[in-house]
Amino acid sequence: MRDFVNATFGSVELDIISQALEEWRTSIGIDRAAPEYEIAAATVVTLFREGNRSLPELQAAISAHQWLSRDAVEMAKVPVHSAGKAS
């Protein structure tokens, strides 16, 4: 737990996080201004802090993460104007 809380990031770590996040964003087509992007960024940082410290490890963790790999992809497919409509 201590490593998770006290993790610090240098330029190399930030590059890994940034590259993984950007690859995720472009693969599902979410804009950087979307709220989902902010949630994804926090999730990717958490995955990195949990020990996925290389780009391949972080990419695998993103693929295995339910929200990042499936739920966010489904959200991206829903048109914005219909997301708030009740059925």
Query: How would you class 41 by CB atoms within 10 Å of its CB: exposed for 0-12, middle for 13-18, buried for 19 or more?
Result: middle
The mean per-residue pLDDT over the stretch 19-38 comes to 94
82 falls within a domain? no
Residue 74 confidence (pLDDT): 76
28 vs 81: which has the higher pLDDT: 28
pLDDT of residue 72: 73
On the question of pLDDT at 59 being above 70, the answer is yes
How many structural domains are present in the chain? 1
56 falls within a domain: yes
Residue 24 placed within a domain: yes
pLDDT at 22: 97
**The pLDDT value given to residue 71:** 76
Query: Which residue range forms the structural domain that includes residue 36?
Result: 2-76
Domain-located, residue 37: yes
Would residue 81 count as lying in a domain? no
In this prediction the pTM is: 0.77
Q: Is there a domain that residue 38 lies in?
A: yes
Spatial contact of 61 and 50, defined as CB atoms under 8 Å apart: yes
- More confident position, 7 or 38: 38
Amino acid at 15: D
Residue-level pLDDT at 83: 47
> What span, in angstroms and rounded, lies between the C-alpha atoms of 28 and 3?
31
Within 8 A by CB and 6+ apart from 53, the residues are: 13, 16
**Residue 50 within a domain:** yes
Separation between Cα atoms, residue 25 and residue 76, nearest integer Å: 10
